[in-house]
Structure 1
Amino acid sequence: MTPIRNETCLELSFPATEVEASAGIAQLSAGLSQQGLPDHMADDVKIALAEAINNVVEHAYDGIAPAKVQVTCRLERDRLDILISDTGNPMPGYQLPDGTPASVETDLQDLPEGGFGWFLINQLTSDICYERHQGCNRLSLRFDFERQP
């Protein structure tokens, strides 16, 4: 899993498994840092990447053999665009979840294990878009930012 890099683009493809996803997220985060992603954006980007990629591993390939996850990152002066592609199952209803967090108004032992990922992704990104095209899921994440002095 060697990323393809140029001045503004970073591409990485890896098998949709937990171990490979974890390594891929770490490589992408390091590569974006090397390409000049502002430090104040690094954590937000890593969290959103991890949530989105882990959703692919856990849900898109649920019940089918995992294939590859392709991630393309394009870093511009004041924004980062990330495209995550896979050939797994489509999103339910072919649309993004609404991003409403799971309720925490319950007893401690009844707290949900999940249900916060899409809420986090929505909160951390400037824009998010999903499409299913020719058997491929395409999730686009955009992060707008101002360069800090």
Structure 2
Amino acid sequence: MKLVFESNLDAVRTGLADLLASDALCAMEQDARGAAEIVLAEVFNNVVEHAYATSQGKIEVCLKDHPEGVLVTVTDSGIPFPQQQLPQGLLPEVKSSDDLPEGGFGWYLIRSQVRHLAYRREGKTNHLTFCLPYKAAH
């Protein structure tokens, strides 16, 4: 399955719903599908807020069968990651529940829920690839 949508929150919401209704993601266990929704929402949010921070563009998503789950490739023509490397995804330091940071959890969540996470920059295009497992980690 291939889906292309604009880099705005309304289009992302619609695109995410379309992906969740796809045969590939519907074949996942319920918990794994919930994790997939969180991962995809985080990835798309990062593309909108960071890759296209100062511009608009398209987000392309391809889903393919993989022996371990669903292989996802997300492509955009926004700005690259700093040093063309993914964030480490370390949890931010939290001193108390009153001191929760606004962000910083996204890449930790992504890294903890996917397999085979890879990023590359080709020309002016970002390519993020990962596998969403059919079964949730317990």
TM-based fold match above 0.5: yes
| Secondary structure class of the residue paired with 2:21 | helix
Pairs aligned (count) = 135
Q: Measure the CA separation in 1 of the matches of 2:133 and 2:25.
A: 16
Which 4+ residue blocks in structure 1 deviate beyond 3 angstroms?
none
| Secondary structure class of the residue paired with 1:80 | strand
Structure 2: tracts of 5 or more residues without a match? none
Q: Does 1:131 align with 2:120?
A: yes
TM-superposed deviation, 1:106: 4.5
| Secondary structure class of the residue paired with 1:103 | coil
Q: Which residue identity does 2:29 align to in structure 1?
A: P
Q: Measure the CA separation in 1 of the matches of 2:73 and 2:46.
A: 14
Partner of 1:41: 32
TM-superposed deviation, 1:135: 0.6
| Secondary structure class of the residue paired with 1:84 | strand
TM-superposed deviation, 1:118: 0.1
Partner of 1:113: 102
Answer with 1 or 2: which has the greater Rg: 1
Q: Residue deviations 1:55-100, cap 9 Å, x none?
A: 000100112x211000001124542100000000001110000010
TM-superposed deviation, 1:107: 6.4
The higher-RCO structure (CA 8 Å, 6+ apart) is 2
Partner of 2:77: 87
Partner of 1:104: 94
- The CA RMSD measured in Å over matched residues stands at 1.8
Q: Measure the CA separation in 2 of the matches of 1:49 and 1:76.
A: 17
TM-score by length of 2: 0.89
Q: Measure the CA separation in 1 of the matches of 2:63 and 2:25.
A: 12
Quick check: 1:33–1:39 contact (8 Å CA) kept in 2? no
CA 1:58/1:12 → structure 2, altered by over 3 Å: closer, same or farther?
Answer: same
Q: Which residue identity does 1:12 align to in structure 2?
A: L
Q: Which residue identity does 2:31 align to in structure 1?
A: H
TM-score by length of 1: 0.83
